[in-house]
Amino acid sequence: MKNVLVIYYSQSGQLESIARNIAKPLLDSENISVSFYEIKLEKPFPFPWDNDAFFGAFPESFLQIPTALKPIPKEILDIKYDLILLNYQVWYLSPSIPINSFLKSPEAKAIFSNTPVVTISGSRNMWIMAQEKIKVLLKQNNAILKGNIALVDRVGNLISVITIVEWMFSGVKKKYLGIFPLPGVSQKDIDESSKFGNIILSSLQENNLDDLQYKLVENDAVRVSSYLVTVDKTGNKIFDKWSRFIITKSESRKTWTKVFKVYLLLAIWLISPIVYILHVLSYPLRSQKRKKVIQYYKGIN
């Protein structure tokens, strides 16, 4: 009997649905015992979000400042796991505050030490740098990264901004104005994500997780856009300056958060298209570098 732990934090329910669909083949196996752990905070974030909470979470999200968690159930801590499926959201180009807080806890260090891990993200489209930060946290916990699955909203960048924001602030997953596509990871991709569970199950039963990422990539578990890699990296540099500035402004924090909100909207609607145009123009000149970038981020090293 092998023990598998599925970890997740989900506000809208999308990531929980992804986590359970991927875990389904494992649940159906007679020689696999699957435990689920939902991360819970002492002070939960709202869903749907309100304006102050959403933008107010920016500095702590990006700077990866942990918050207090509710105690992890003893039955979770008492088991030594053969594999952990770590499901996470991306907030402001970083792992969400709940997942970051958990991974920085002493309990996580005990759970993850010398344990194989598959990371699973559900995001709008930019997960690259968040995954790099997850790698650091896993290494600090002495975990062994064996696979990565990145599910994203497949519609265009600017369209997904509109639909995701509407969803986050209304709490209702619907076609905005009746004409926009549904926000988030498509139901088709969520339903079909059980195929990744079958791949994980097969590798686990064969006691061979070394080729797992290759098999996952072959089955479309990870798509990498060199354009979004550039946007993600650029955004991280800018967010670093903004977050460090705002975090020091205790008395005027709300004011500066509002200024950041205006900047963010301008960056999305004005700067992002310019970056895309420059990317297209330079596309033929950087084919070799682009291939290396894509190959690296599809991997787990």
Place of tokens 């926000």: 183
Residues 187-230 pLDDT 10s: 999 999 999 999 999 999 999 999 999 999 999 999 999 989 98
Per-residue confidence (pLDDT) for residue 285, from 0 to 100:
67
Q: What is the 3-state secondary structure (H, E, C) of 120-139?
A: EEEECCCCHHHHHHHHHHHH
Binned at pLDDT 50, 70 and 90, residue 276 comes out as: confident
Separation CA 20–CA 196 (nearest Å): 12
Whether 97 and 66 have beta carbons less than 8 Å apart is answered as: yes
The torsion angles phi and psi of 130, rounded to 5 degrees, stand at: -65, -40
Residues 252-270 pLDDT 10s: 999 999 999 999 998 888 8
Cα–Cα nearest to 95, from 140, 144, 162: 140
Whether 45 and 11 have beta carbons less than 8 Å apart is answered as: yes
Per-residue confidence (pLDDT) for residue 280, from 0 to 100:
75
Task: Please state the pTM of the whole predicted model.
Answer: 0.94
Residue type, 172: V
Above 80 in pLDDT, residue 127?
yes
Separation CA 248–CA 272 (nearest Å): 28
Separation CA 35–CA 272 (nearest Å): 41
Q: In sequence order, what DSSP letters do the residues of 36-79 get, joined into one string?
A: EEE--BSSPPPSS--HHHHHHTHHHHHTT----BPPPPHHHHT-
Strand intervals (E) in the chain: 2-8, 32-38, 83-91, 94-95, 116-123, 144-152
Above 90 in pLDDT, residue 147?
yes
Per-residue confidence (pLDDT) for residue 288, from 0 to 100:
81
Residues 107-120 pLDDT 10s: 999 999 999 999 99
Cα–Cα nearest to 139, from 149, 150, 127, 131: 131
Above 80 in pLDDT, residue 156?
yes
Whether 122 and 151 have beta carbons less than 8 Å apart is answered as: yes
Separation CA 212–CA 162 (nearest Å): 35
Whether 181 and 163 have beta carbons less than 8 Å apart is answered as: yes
| Mean pLDDT, residues 282-300 | 86
Task: Report the relative pairing of strands 83-91 and 94-95 from DSSP bridges.
Answer: antiparallel
Residues 66-98 pLDDT 10s: 999 999 999 999 999 999 999 999 999 999 999
Per-residue confidence (pLDDT) for residue 273, from 0 to 100:
79
Chain mean pLDDT for the chain? 95
Binned at pLDDT 50, 70 and 90, residue 278 comes out as: confident
Above 80 in pLDDT, residue 284?
no
